[in-house]
């Protein structure tokens, strides 16, 4: 049984993810992926995977989605849905869990194979933005200066 209850319009996200999946560029794996997410301001953003002849440079659908998010006004993700080529729910790979963590609204919901999940469910004890703001003054001062910021 699918657990819902958060009031999220999952059907809209599912259909947007499926439409995004049809835009995938996957000449190497033939494994299209589409992702869609609801932004806290009501926008829906989407992405597809984009492969590369240099295989390790492949962009996952989630990567394309967060690029879309940032380029269309930024904000935080409230709900996320990802599908494979059959339109079935696909769980984000490890790297993409980290990408999503960066842009999650508090309590963001993801659709999993058996219902709603949270980031804490799929990436427990995560390293995230809060850890960076916790950097000590000393550690920040130790950062190398970017060449353009040098005064002489
Ligand atoms: O979370 C994931 C996992 C995989 N892929 C893509 C990358 C590659 O193009 C294909 C096979 O790994 O699926 C995604 O887009 N997102």
pLDDT in tens, 36-95: 999 999 999 999 999 999 999 999 999 999 999 999 999 999 999 999 999 999 999 999
Domain membership flag for residue 26: yes
Q: Pick from 23, 24, 31, 53 the residue to mutate for probing ligand 1's pocket: most ligand atoms within 8 Å of its CB.
A: 31
Q: Has residue 145 been placed in a domain?
A: no
Beta sheet of 104-112, edge-to-edge order: 44-48, 34-39, 77-83, 104-112, 115-118
Q: At what angle do helices 10-21 and 61-71 cross, to 10 degrees?
A: 110
Q: Is residue 137 part of a domain?
A: no
Establish whether this prediction's ipTM goes over 0.85.
yes
* pTM of this prediction exceeds 0.90: no
Residue 146 lies in a domain: no
Would 138 be classed as within a structural domain?
Answer: no
Domain CATH for 29 = 3.40.140.10
Expressed as residue numbers, the domain containing 28 is 10-126
140 part of a folded domain: no
Identify the burial level of 104 via C-beta atoms within 10 angstroms of its C-beta, where 0-12 means exposed, 13-18 middle and 19 or more buried: buried
Q: Which residues are catalytic?
A: 62
Q: How many helices (H) and strands (E) does the chain have?
A: 6, 5
Q: Does residue 152 form part of some domain?
A: no
Total number of domains in the chain = 1
Pocket of ligand 1 (CB under 6 A): 26, 29, 31, 33, 49, 51, 58, 60-62, 92-93, 96
**DSSP 3-state of 119:** helix
Task: Give the mutation target among 20, 27, 33 for probing the ligand 1 site: most ligand atoms within 8 A of CB.
Answer: 33
Q: Domain for residue 77, yes or no?
A: yes
């Amino acid at each position: 049984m699918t657990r819902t209850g958060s009031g999220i319009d999952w059907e809209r996200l599912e259909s947007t993810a499926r439409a995004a999946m049809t835009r995938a560029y996957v000449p190497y794996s033939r494994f299209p992926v589409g992702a869609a997410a609801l932004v806290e301001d009501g926008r829906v953003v989407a992405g597809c995977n984009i492969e590369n002849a240099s295989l390790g440079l492949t962009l996952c659908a989630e990567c394309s989605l967060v690029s879309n998010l940032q380029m269309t006004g930024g904000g935080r993700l409230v709900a996320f849905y990802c599908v494979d080529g059959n339109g079935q729910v696909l769980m984000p790979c490890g790297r993409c869990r980290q990408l999503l963590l960066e842009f999650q609204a508090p309590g963001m919901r993801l659709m999993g194979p058996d219902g709603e999940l949270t980031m804490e469910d799929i990436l427990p004890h995560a390293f995230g933005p809060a850890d960076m703001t916790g950097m000590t003054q000393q550690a920040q001062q130790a950062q190398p200066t970017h060449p353009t910021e040098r005064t002489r």
